[in-house]
Structure formats: C-alpha cells, structure tokens
Structure 1
Amino acid sequence: MKCFLYFKDKSKAKRGSNSAPELQNQNKHKNPALDRATKSSGSLPSPRSIPELYKEKEHNLRVFTFQELRDATNGFSRLLKIGEGGFGSVYKGTIRPPNGRGNPTLVAIKKLNKNGLQGHKEWLAEVQFLGVVDHPNLVKLLGYCSIDGERGIQRLLVYEFMPNRSLEDHLFNRVLPTLPWKRRLQILLGVALGLAYLHGGLEVQVIYRDFKTSNVLLDENFHPKLSDFGLAREGPTGDRTHVSTAPVGTYGYAAPEYVELGRLSVQSDIWSFGVVLYEILTGRRALERNRPIAEQKLLLWVKQYPADSNRFSMIIDPRLRNQYSLGAAREIAKFADSCLNKNPKDRPEISQVIQSLKQAIEYSDEPTTSRNMTSKSSQSMVPKVK
C-alpha cells in the first residue's frame, strides 16, 4: 500500500568493513537531560532513551555475518522469498546455533535494499526498539547484520519465523480459509496487549506509529505479534502531549492530527486501531481503489451503515456467512467509532480497548449467529472517556 510521506535523512553512511558501527557510536552519546537531572540534588533522573536502554541489552542480539545469512537462504533464493516491500525482501531461512551445535532454527530474514538512507534509518530504529522490548505479543528479533564494504552497504534483520503469515493475508487473501469471527477478536486482543506494553510498560513510552493488518504476524497457533518497528518513536515526556514530526506511514491508517499537523501521540495508535477494527468487521481494506468511488475509503463507506441502524449488517464481511454475534459486532463498531474521534483526547486508552475486546469475546462465546441479539449487548462496551 502506498506511503504518503517519508523522512529525509541527510546523514551519509560511512564505509568500512565491520558490523554495526552506528549502534556502537550512538550508544556513546549521553542523554543531556539525564545528566542534568542526576547532577541536581533532590531531583529524579529523566527516563532513559531507547538508545540508552538498548546499550544494556545489545548483548542479547546475535551479530551475523553476511555469508551466514546468504547460506541460510540458499543465496537469497527466490523460492524462499516470503515477502517484499519498499524496504526490500523477506526470506525464510535456517540458522545454526553460534557454537554450531544443536538443531537449526527457522527464521525470517529481512534484507534491505542497498539504496536509500531511509531504509537504513528504519533498520537502526528497529534494531534498537526490538533490542529493548520484551513481550509475547511483539515479534522477537534474534540478530542483525550490518556491513559497509567496498561492494556496498548491507543491512539485514533476523526474526523468529511466524508460519501463519499476517492478519492482512487471512482477512483479504481469498485463497486462504476465512478467519472466524472470534479468532479475529482474539488476534486484536493480543496485539492490544502488545500496544499496552509499548504505551505504558517500559521506562520510556513508545508510539508504534504503524499499526495495520500487515504488521500483525501470526504463529502456528494464530497467536499474534506486532512486527516492523522501523517507524516507532519515543513518546512525549514531561508535560508535553505529543511529539512533532513529519508524517510517515501507510495511507488510510494515520490519525488526522498526525497527517495534518504532524502531532504524534499514543492516541495516534488508537486511531489506527479503530481503522483495523472496521477492517475485521467488513473484510475490506482501509483503501480499495478498485471499488466504486463511494466505497473506496472504508471509513467513509461505513458511516452510511451506523451500528444502531437496521442496515448495519450489510457491512459485515460476507465470508463470515452469518457465523458471528450481531450484538458484539454492533458494539465493536461503536467502539471503533470512539477510537476514530477527531479529538485525540476523546479516544479511549489502550486499557479500555482491551476491556472492550474481552467483553466482545465473551458475547461471542454465546450462540454465534448474526440473528442473536444478546441482552448483554444493550450494555454498551464503549467506555466513557473522562
């Protein structure tokens, strides 16, 4: 899907032969705010930045040679390619333990295009963020390879392998079996727990900034994990409500205050979550150019079918074949609307997202038919935002 704007990175990569000089150099820089705070008696230190937190955990990541990853993918064989995007290609590979003993491990290897400084900037961000975070609903980074040699720049990332591909594949690829209603909710609950960890479970607040179905990967049991942290940003500190930055991401998922004003906060992730809620309800993408003009933009189309109207069921994914709770679907739509409030302050917190998804799953445990209107559905799952 088309991206609407990207950062311009004016830095130039230095050429050498060793791995990841940027990671080592960036860790040497101290946080001025932290230094000032610790020198002032009686004041608490400022939260450490992601690069500072990464310095403590960088030893957990394995540094691969380019030859190791070439061998792991049979020379980056096209037969092993499992994904491709503007950043480069992803390959299924097999790596051996560092000591050469033990069974090989299946991995996914992302190989960035050689050209483009933006790709390098996102690569560096992903190494640092995934080197710090640790949660069952966030994809695990196993290691990386960074080579600046005479033959060019090589940037690669090695992740745990997720055999069931992405939520995007299972929602929109008609070749794959239909994803059941309850499983859709369970997947979103899992990634909501991952977002909650990013928003409030670390020393520093993290804004994911790229929440969409293609970045939700599924393991063999359809357990979801957020992937692709190249666009993640540290959240505001002190009394600030947002960070200011040039908009970047996928068209159709970004919050209006971010697109129009460059104001980024954790509530920007909540907006994106609202978009994905409507995607699992309808089985349609946020933007589909091949549909009639009135139906191309998902959020505009669904407004014609309010959750409380008799026409609401017309937007439900037909592939579900009436095997869903209409009461729960109505409440999910109402909650999606609360996530899509124009004013970021009026959107729910991620904890409220989790609560509402749990309730929707509970409703869906009752007899699952679109004609079933449970008495519980009259008690709205949409929380009151203070």
Structure 2
Amino acid sequence: MTVSTPKEFLTEGSLATLGERPFGVYVHVPFCSVRCGYCDFNTYTADELGEGATRASYADTAIAEIRQAASLLVEASPIETVFFGGGTPTQLPPGDLVRILSALRDSFGFVPGIEVTTEANPDSVTPESLATLCEGGINRISFGVQSAVRHVLATLDRTHRPEGVPDAVRWARAAGFEQLSVDLIYGTPGESMDDWRRSLDHAISLEPDHVSAYALIVEQGTALARRVSRGEVAVPDDDEMADKYILADSLLEAAGLGWYELSNWARDEASRCRHNELYWEGADWWGVGPGAHSHIDGNRWWNVKHPAAYANRLNAGQSPVMDFETLDEPTRLNERVLLESRLRSGLDPAILDPSVRPAVAELVDEGLLEAGDRLVLTLKGRLLADNVVRRLVP
C-alpha cells in the first residue's frame, strides 16, 4: 500500500464534475464501550487505543480532515446527507458531534432539508444528550436495537436492556428528531423463530419510521467466528434464514413499512435513508475518520485504519489516505448492477450486457425477477439476490 493524497489521483475532469452529482459525508466514530463478538468494523474500546486517539481529541482531528477535504473539493455541491456511524458515535460528547457538523456546514454548506443521521446504542443516550444533538442539527437517529431477547443480546455482546429501548425512543421523539430508525439482526446462534418474532413485534411497537434488518454474517477473525469454529454455537441454515427474512417482510409490511432495499423498510419515501441511497446510486461522498472510504466519480480511496495513525498524520498536517483505486468502466457497470438490483425501484435493463439477455428471461421464468421498464426482484428473488446478480454480470 502506498500513501497518497486525493489531490494526486483525482483528475481535473472528476473535480470539474463535482457539482453534477449529489454529495454526502460519512463520519466514522471508532469508539465503543464494548467490542461486540460479531463485529468486524473498525472499532475500538478505550483501553485498545494509544496516545493521540482519545475521545476527547477526536472531534478536532476529524475537523482537520474536513478542512483538508474542503481545500480540495472547492467545486463540490452543498452537502445533501451526513451520516455519523461507527462504532458508537454517541460515545462522543454530543457537543463534539455538533462541532463536527458545524465544521461541515462552514466548509461546504448544506442543502435545504439536509438529512443528518447519527447511529446510537439505546444505552448511550440521555434526554439531555439527545436534545443537544437535535438542537445542533442532527435530525435522524438510528438505534442499534438488534434484538429484544436477552439471551440473543448476550450472544451478540450487546450491553443494553430491551426494557430500556422504549425510553430511548421516547426521549428521541421528545427531543424533536424528524426520523427514527431501528436496526435489527437476525440469525444469531440460538435465536429461535419465536425469538425473532418477539424482536420484530418489539420494533414495530416502537412505531419507527424506518427499520433495517440484517442477516448475521459470521466474519472471520471475530470472537463469534472463533466460538463457531470451536463448536460452542451453531449458525442457522439457509432455510431458517430465509424464513426469518420472509417473516420480517410480512410483519413490517403489515405495519406499514414497505421494503425499498433488500434489508431496509420505510414508512414512506420521506422516511428512507437518503444517505444510503446516495451510496446505492453511485453518487459522491467523503469519508471522514480512520478507515473511512470516499468516492468521487469512480475514484475510491480509504484512510489508515488505526485511530492513532490517523490522528498522528493529521496532527502533522499530512493526509490520512492509505491508498486508492480508480474503477474501470466494466467494474463501475458491475457495481451499478449489484447495487441497483437490490432496490425496489429496480434495475434499468438497458445497462446490461447483451450477453445476459437470455439470463434475464430465465430469471423472469423462474419467478426471481419482474420485467418491465425496470427489472425488480420478487420476494423469491430477494432471497436469492446474490445468485440473481451473478447471472446478470457477464
């Protein structure tokens, strides 16, 4: 890997077309109170970090990167979406998240009606912290609920109590958040169908505007993967995972939450996560923080992963970029097929290579795709989405 700055690999053509595409910002906050056994994200507990990477100094470090970005992307459109992810962004003092947001506003400007999301654990917020976040301009919150069943939460190493989630939701509503989302995970070892139904019923009872439900993936190198390899816990089979997805779709649809992406359901179009739509539609974004990825017009780069290395570079006035890649046209097209096919709005068949037209007809005959102006996955197709995509890419 080589160390570069975006100025070295972003062409004049890419920079000149900045204003032609939506522009968003992702801010990675790498701190967690406990490292969950299933998680392979770039996150750390306080005792894993060295000098220069403290929570107290993090906002200033992130703001230094924002200023670097602004000095390069002078033609960028005003920001349409900001997403604070992690980690647990609400491990930072709420005033620090607001300061980072203010630096983005001062550096780039915001479009009217900007969507600003923060992820949060239910036990990482208070009425006072939520009020500060909302007053500071964060208008959407996504709670990592994952499950409403204690033994499932214990397997996932989650720290919150299911009984405390309604309080956090009530506080967020009272603070004035415009949109509230709930994240769930299904397929945890030991989770029964009744457990999953309880979690869905619990989430629906919170009356969220948006629900994300993700199948648990046992990632290599995680504590959960080691437990699976030792035979301590067993992962569910594909049929059970499919049944859990079907149950989620049925209950969420009945509650007025329609799917708009494979793992995401929203009450209406205004409740969709616009920041994620920006990714799926191939727009531009800058990723702030250790390990964060950025994308401008087919150019993708990523920062050094460790928070201390990230902080040291910025404190020295250097770029935190670790490496980059420029996507060729076939790769860009394949990624477009991969992402657009996941959406309820579907895939434009005109972009497909002519060689896959027979495969399209076969997928329609097999009940995996609905054909029309757009190609849209059926429920059966959603269960086999990876297979569908492989057949649509030459």
Using the size of structure 1 for normalisation, the TM-score is: 0.29
Normalized per residue, which structure has more helix?
Answer: 2
Using the size of structure 2 for normalisation, the TM-score is: 0.28
Q: Which has the higher contact order (CA 8 A, sep 6+)?
A: 2
